[in-house]
Structure 1
Amino acid sequence: MPSRQAPVKVFIADDSVLIRDRVAAMFEASAMNVVGWAATPQSAIEGILSAAPDVVVLDVQLEGGSGLQVLRAVRQAAPDIAFVVFSSNSGPAYRKRYAAEGAEVFLDKSIEFDQLVDVVIKASRHGAALIPDN
């Protein structure tokens, strides 16, 4: 009998309640476990370090700060947690900066929403950089 893999544990850091709810519903429908969410950088850092998710879905713009603050702080304390940046602020400068800080993938909310579940699964299994060089 094949062994069952534990569900992917995901933390959502986004200041939009609508986006958080929609993303959480997508993950739960895909048998992923949403272990927490936050709207501010500080609550995201604390929640992520406490919940120890496999993957963090991170927005660039958070209430009172940026996702980059979260990425840097968590990377330093828990380098094995994968980050998927999921934002409407998806220009090349953002992509390059987040990749340089260790994000695995950067998706644009407006055109790549449907890819999020698959990308989170891949990021949780591989932990390798998946961001294209564009």
Structure 2
Amino acid sequence: MSAAKSIRILLVDDHAIIREGYRSLLQKQPGMIVVAEAVDGAQAYRRFKEYSPDIVIMDISLPGQGGLQAIARIKQNATAAKILVFSMHQNPGFAVQAIHAGALGYVTKSSMPQVLIEAVQDVHAGRLTLSADIAQVLALETLGGDHKALQELSVREFEILRMLVEARSTDDIAQTLNLSPKTVSNCHYLIKRKLGVASDIELTHWAIRMKLINLLELSGPSSEYL
């Protein structure tokens, strides 16, 4: 395949070493080229508009506006955009939310490199694709009430939930997502009602139980050295 016909990729991840590793992997494949990179959702949107890539490979745990919001924003700008989520999160709820936001695929970072390569080809061809670990859980799991409640959240509510359990303030969330504090407060209330929790402490416990966050993430910056 000539360079002119290569799949042009925008790679979005906030970790430089991870981006470098996967850029190297992708560019070793015939017919694939990484034309741009981004470190957060806002930059991903700008890079998408600037480079018009054939496919976006995006983590969803990004600083500032998360990957789900970035996916939704890109899809609003270009409904035909093809987006593959590449994430550490193995909770199928994340995959469901990513698809709701507009992604065509979801691959976990624990997958073999060939799985990512094949997913890029599938998404570029317009096919929905999931890595085997996610597909198996979705196929075999009898979804309990907690999982069903998670899927009831909108993309906006899911992103606000993610920030709430990171102990971010209403004003901080509002500024990050370009919303009014009142809107965030209203969403905060709706999230707790949908999930059936009465307090923020219960909300955090619920998020840990659902593996949306873990105890290491709650222990602060020093956790990265543990």
Root-mean-square deviation over aligned CA pairs: 1.9
Query: Is the CA contact (8 Å cut-off) linking 2:56 and 2:83 kept in structure 1?
Result: yes
Higher normalized helix content (fraction of residues): 2
Letter in 2 for 1:18: I
- Corresponding residue SS for 2:89: coil
Match of residue 9 from structure 1: 8
Letter in 2 for 1:99: I
User: What corresponds to 2:72 in structure 1?
Assistant: 72
Counterpart for residue 19 of structure 1? 18
Q: What is the distance in 2 between the residues matched to 1:61 and 1:69?
A: 11
Sequence identity of aligned pairs in percent?
Answer: 24
Where 2:6 maps in the other structure, the secondary structure is coil
Alignment partner of 1:124 is 2:114: no
Higher RCO (CA 8 Å, separation ≥ 6 residues): 1
> What amino acid sits opposite 1:108 in the alignment?
T
2: CA distance between counterparts of 1:105 and 1:124? Answer: 10
User: How far did 1:40 drift?
Assistant: 1.3
Q: Which residue of 1 aligns with 2:223?
A: none
Paired AA for residue 30 in structure 1: Q
Task: Return 4-13 or 24-33, whichever deviates more.
Answer: 4-13
Q: Secondary structure of the residue that 2:84 maps to in structure 1?
A: strand
Instruction: Please show how residues 36-51 of structure 1 align to structure 2 within 5 Å.
Output: 36-51=36-51
- Could you tell me how far apart the structure 1 residues matched to 2:63 and 2:92 are? 22
Q: Tell me the equivalent position of 2:162.
A: none
The Cα offsets for residues 20-69 of structure 1, whole Å up to 9 and x where unpaired, read as 11111111100311110111111110001111111100101112231011
Alpha-carbon distance, 1:112 to partner: 4.2
The equivalent of 1:92 in structure 2 is 92
Larger strand fraction of residues: 1
Task: Please give the per-residue CA displacement for 1:66-87, whole angstroms capped at 9, x wherever unaligned.
Answer: 1011100000111112111001
Alignment of 1:35 onto 2:13 = no
**Distance of aligned partners of 1:112 and 1:99 in 2 relative to their CA distance in 1, 3 Å threshold:** farther
Q: Could you tell which deviates more after superposition, 52-61 or 103-112?
A: 103-112
Say if 1:83 and 1:102, in contact at 8 Å, map to a contact too: yes
Q: Kindly state the Cα deviation for residue 114 of structure 1 after the two structures are TM-superposed.
A: 3.3
Contact 2:26 2:117 in 1 (8 A): yes
**Structure 1 pair 82/30, CA: closer, same or farther in 2 (3 Å)?**
same
| Equivalent pairs, count | 131
